[in-house]
Structure 1
Amino acid sequence: MSASYSLPVTDSLAHDRNFTSTTHSSVPTEEQRLIKLSSATDDKNILVDGRDQLETGSDPELLRMLQVSDDELVGDLTYEQLSLYEKKSVLINRELDKMNTFGSAGLGRYQWCIFLLCGFGYFLDLAWAQAFGLISGAIQQELGIADSKIGDIFVAFSAGLTVGAFFWGIAADVIGRKWCFNITCAISSVAGLLFAAPSNFGALCFLISVVGLGVGGNIPLDSAIVLEFLPTNRRFLLAVLSTFQPIGVVVSCGVAYGLVPKYSCDTSLPSCQGGETPCCTKSSNMGWRYFTITLGVITFLIFVARFVLFDFQESPKFLLSKGRDEEALRVLYNIAEFNKAPVPDLTLEDFHALDKAAGVQNIETHDNTQTGVKTILLKGLNNFSHLKGFFSSKRMIWLTVSLWIAYMSLFFSFSIAGGYLPLILRQKGIDTSTSISVTYRNYIIVYLPGTIATILAGVLMEIKWLGRKWAMALGAGLMGASLFLFSAVSSVAGFVGFNLMEYFFQSLYCALLYAFTPEAFPAPYRGTASGIASTLGRLASTVAPFAAGSIFNPRSNGVLYMAGGAAFVSMLSVATLPFETRGKHSF
């Protein structure tokens, strides 16, 4: 996507710009084209007008036009309380809102591309998570892995996810969204393709952890990226983005069903590791390898679509947070060109007027000539200065702690249910182990309705009397109730039915929570906030089986009540969030 629009720095009062209108000003006037300054560092031209407004101070009328109503801000926040970055961020929001009125269904072409490519990231998250559960039996049989060790597959993947969520969340706020967006997919595709090569369990676990490292950044990163390019009235698509997750599970099950049973050893054959014959050889057990190669190819094709076919533009809000106003504005103009929308009204003069009013000058001058260990260390530490945002106000501390509790309780809840429910049912005489075909059929029955749940989440979050907060509370409460109802299961059919119900409400709640989290935090530490929340959730899911194990009794439903109780804790946590984000500006 080439940048053909120049960045006009015009006198805003030279033409009437109503920011709440859906009409756009024309391309900069001939008078403004007469004076051009060529950048010394590249071939970009920046248009200025001849009156040099910035030398005489900011015009009060221009500043008034740049303001927004306090009603458009979250909670009891007022425009005067906004930081300089937040005031500029609002102007980006306005342009995106206007730009997308020229697109299809309220979105421009660029936004639809971003939505689909980030949706594929969500797709990979659960496609790979499901994959290792589907092939663990075939790997165990071929390599002769003990029952006590086969769980290392899931530990390795969980460790990769945890590190990935933490690392990529922070990296997105330090080096930017663009590189993280592409690197995460590249890592998981390479590791996925290599996974079929070794016949050593340790090497497989290592590659699984690397896949997790790449995939782990998808949820916190992709949700932030989609948000930062969406118009305000289409932010319900953040919840709909989660639709790609159950689709990932269904596709993973479908591919496995077509390959694993057909190209696997007879289940009665022992591993060749013990020297017995006949045994389960590599050549007769290629199904799980064909399966992971197929997923690796799918992941690689998604990487190609992201990196080669699509010209991803760095988030303008990330650029603003780093003081790179001109680059942020250029991205906005590039998107308008890609969307075939009129030239944005926003100009550098608008940003400079806000700078003047805030007493800030020359904010885009960066001194890179200083050297020395102390200087380098200080610059390195400055990359993490955004972490102070979590403690910038009582409201932000309240928000952060509430969401951390919500994530930990949610992950704790479904981790217990998934690990201990089959054990409880077996004690009741209900054997949930079935043939491979029936197992895959049941997976599809359970997970496919999750696509409806995530779409429903997008509807609920836009209902005025529900909004994000109470829709989340509703979803968490219904999830907790469904876990309590599991105690009444007395048949395999009941197990499948209640599993479907629990996953439906879990999908509903997760979609809402994943959508709200990036909305609630500003761009300077949005990726970090989402990444840490996801990391804490992963850690809670790791601890949960040990905590439940201390009270587990196969003749009791105690662990199910613990899981349901954790879901209710998550419900209470989101119900006490300090503000609602529906229809409000995100920074």
Structure 2
Amino acid sequence: MSTEKSLTPGLQPDDERDIGGYVSEHSNDDSMSESDKERDLLAHHGQDPALSRKMCLVNNAIDELGWTPYHTKLFFLNGFGYAVDSLVMLLQSVIAGQAYLEFGQHGYETAMTIALYAGMFVGSLFWGFGADIIGRKHAFNFSLIICCVATIVAGGMPNWPSLGLFISLLGFGAGGNLVLDTTVFLEYLPGNKQWAVTLMAAWWGVGQAITGFIAWGFLVDEKWNCSSVETCTRSNNMGWRYVMFTSGALVLVMSILRLTLVQLRETPKYLLGMREDKQVVDTFEYLAKKYNRPCSLTLEKLEACGTLSVEAHKKFSFSEMAGHLRGLFITRKMSISTIMLWLSWIMIGLVYPLFYAFLPSYLASLGANLNVTPFEKWRNYTLTNISGIFSPILAAWMCNIPLLGRRYTMLIGALLTSAFFFAYTAVRTKDQNVGFSCAIAFCLNIYYGVLFAYTPEVLPSAHRATGNGVAIAGNRVMGALSAVIATEADTATSAPIFICGGLFAALGVVAALFPFEPYGRRSS
């Protein structure tokens, strides 16, 4: 029995395995019960039979190992990646206005948004395919370092195009983080702790709040921020550069902690798909010895499950990437699930930013008085982002309730967000504006937090990063498109606001109709 303290008050370590939707049945014999197989979400959905049997043994070994300090480190260090992703996504919108003034307003006004989303699109696909082909470990370690370097260098750029280049590189690194943070964490989690992937989304709000605090500190003082293009120079407009330098330094610290505090081992589920059975066993034996936990998995048990029918190769090629895409459409149910997931990511990538693009003009036409000072602007920005920290905590609790699960938690989050979208159109004062902004941030992150966690949960391990990467890439394409629409379209019309609110409610309904419910099941 483990000597570690229970992570749940009132429960002993062995009792903790009985919560979360199923009762774990571990034994040290060689049998693999049907109940074990039934708990694996995709066990009967077209997976290679040998891989399915091995996956069941690995899931049993993960459950047997339980939650360890290794998982705690992953929660924080992967959470740093989440925080960095949200931080850098907001950076371009925070600094773009002042940078555009300094560079004489030459170029496309929303170019930084497009540059970021273009970088994240490429990064999501590159790191997504890469993580399934060459492994999770390298992408996990290097993507955050790229964010760090690009952020710091961007703060020193002399013109609008060069700034856009490094914003793109920043997005390229962040695209890998979004794919890998959830994938790596999930593939080490015991089945009854998979709700922790939703909880990790709280770090997203932390990153946004940090951005708000940094902007609040540097973009308010007049000595660091010019007010007109005619008088704007580098020397009197250093505020946005300080924002980038400070953020880059913070990301550097996170990168160092990620490389030093946890010596990440390749995930067992990736190794299974690469036919590295011995390394799988070595990983579990290492963790079991280090944290004084049992380990009944042996190489003989894995080899007795048979040989995988398809051999994977650690090299980039069109055939290898096509194989990972095909793996997401093995059965009809998996095909429907994959398409619905991707469409959800695509739609929310367009709906959310478009709502806020058209909202100011609509409110102004109704006589709303929302003029704020720079201090009030960044204070409100920070308060709104802080509100998004707590909703993933609520969502993690909700998605572990049998009657709700992941799907209905997303439905509730989306419907609440849609309701506040419509209510937002009645805002007339500054205080109302802050209140509704905070409410929307809270409700939106219920939906978004679960969607981020649900996506890798219902994808097969051998193709998980690919499916996750394509989903996020589709989201970024729509984000870039929304920036173009916001610039070129007539924002005085009210129709897009109500369409966006209705579509967000529809996203919740789609979530409730997803084919798979991961509650009480183990990711495959």
C-alpha distance in structure 1 between counterparts of 2:388 and 2:226, whole Å: 32
Asked if structure 2 preserves the Cα contact closer than 8 Å seen for 1:548 and 1:559, the reply is no
CA distance in 2, matches of 1:542, 1:316: 36
> What residue in structure 1 maps to residue 186 of structure 2?
227
Cα separation, partners in 2 of 1:294 and 1:21, compared to 1, 3 Å: same
Tell me, yes or no, if structure 1 residue 438 matches structure 2 residue 376.
yes
Bigger mean CA deviation after superposition, 562-571 or 221-230? 562-571
Report if aligned partners of 1:164, 1:215 keep a CA contact under 8 Å in 2. Answer: yes
Which of residues 223, 237, 245 in structure 2 aligns to 1:285? Answer: 237
Q: Which has the higher contact order (CA 8 A, sep 6+)?
A: 2
Distance 2:25 2:364 in 1: 63
Which of 415, 418, 424 matches 1:486?
424
Task: State the number of aligned residues.
Answer: 502
Q: Does 1:352 align with 2:303?
A: yes
Alignment of 1:301-380 (within 5 A): 301-338=253-290, 340-355=291-306, 360=307
Aligned AA (2:303): H
Aligned to 1:92: 58
Q: 1:158–1:383: structure 2 CA closer, same or farther, 3 Å change rule?
A: closer
Query: Which of residues 294, 298, 306 in structure 1 aligns to 2:246?
Result: 294
CA distance in 2, matches of 1:343, 1:465: 33
Q: Gaps spanning 5+ residues in structure 2: where? A: 1-22
The alignment status of 1:113 with 2:64, answered yes or no, reads: no
Which of residues 148, 156, 170 in structure 2 aligns to 1:197?
Answer: 156
TM-score normalised to the size of structure 2?
A: 0.89
**Deviations for 1:142-193, whole angstroms, at most 9, x for unmatched residues?**
22115x7231111111111121112211111111100000111111111111
Match of 1:74 in 2: 41
| Structure 1 equivalent of residue 510 of structure 2 | 573
Helix, strand or coil: the match of 2:516? coil
Q: Is the 8 A contact 2:110 2:483 kept in 1?
A: no
* Change in 2 beyond 3 A, CA 1:404/1:82: same
1:475 maps onto 2:413 in alignment: yes
RMSD value over aligned CA atoms? 2.7
Query: Does structure 1 conserve the Cα–Cα contact (< 8 Å) formed by 2:413 and 2:447?
Result: yes
Against the structure 1 CA distance between its residues 283 and 509, is the aligned structure 2 distance closer, same or farther, given a 3 Å change threshold? same
| AA matched with 1:436 | P
Corresponding position of 2:108: 149
Provide the identity percentage: 28
Instruction: Give the Cα separation in 2 of the matches to 1:204 and 1:548.
Output: 21
User: In terms of Rg, which structure is larger?
Assistant: 1
Tell me the amino acid that sits aligned with residue 580 of structure 1.
E
Within 5 Å, which residues of 2 pair with 1:532-543? 532-543=470-481
Does residue 160 of the first structure (1) align with residue 119 of the second (2)? yes
What corresponds to 2:395 in structure 1? 457
**Paired letter, 2:497:** L
Letter of the 2:135 partner, please give it: G
Q: Distance in 2 between matches of 1:313 and 1:455?
A: 28
Q: 1:546–1:144: structure 2 CA closer, same or farther, 3 Å change rule?
A: closer
Preserved CA contact (<8 Å) 1:184 1:217: yes
Give SS of 2:108's match: helix
User: In 1, Cα distance between the equivalents of 2:173 and 2:125?
Assistant: 11
Residue pair 1:224, 1:518 contacting (<8 A) in 2 also: yes
Whole-angstrom distance in 2 between the partners of 1:367 and 1:211:
29
Structure 1 regions of 5+ residues with no counterpart?
1-18, 26-60, 101-106, 272-278, 369-375
Shift of 1:266: 5.5
The secondary structure found in structure 2 opposite 1:462 is coil
1:60-71 to 2 correspondence within 5 Å? 62=30, 64-65=31-32, 67-69=34-36, 71=38
| TM-score of the superposed pair, with normalisation by structure 1 | 0.80
Q: Specify which of 225, 247, 250 is matched with residue 206 of structure 2.
A: 247
1:178 correspondence with 2:130: no
* Matches of 2:118 and 2:96, distance apart in 1: 17
Does 2:98 correspond to 1:138? yes
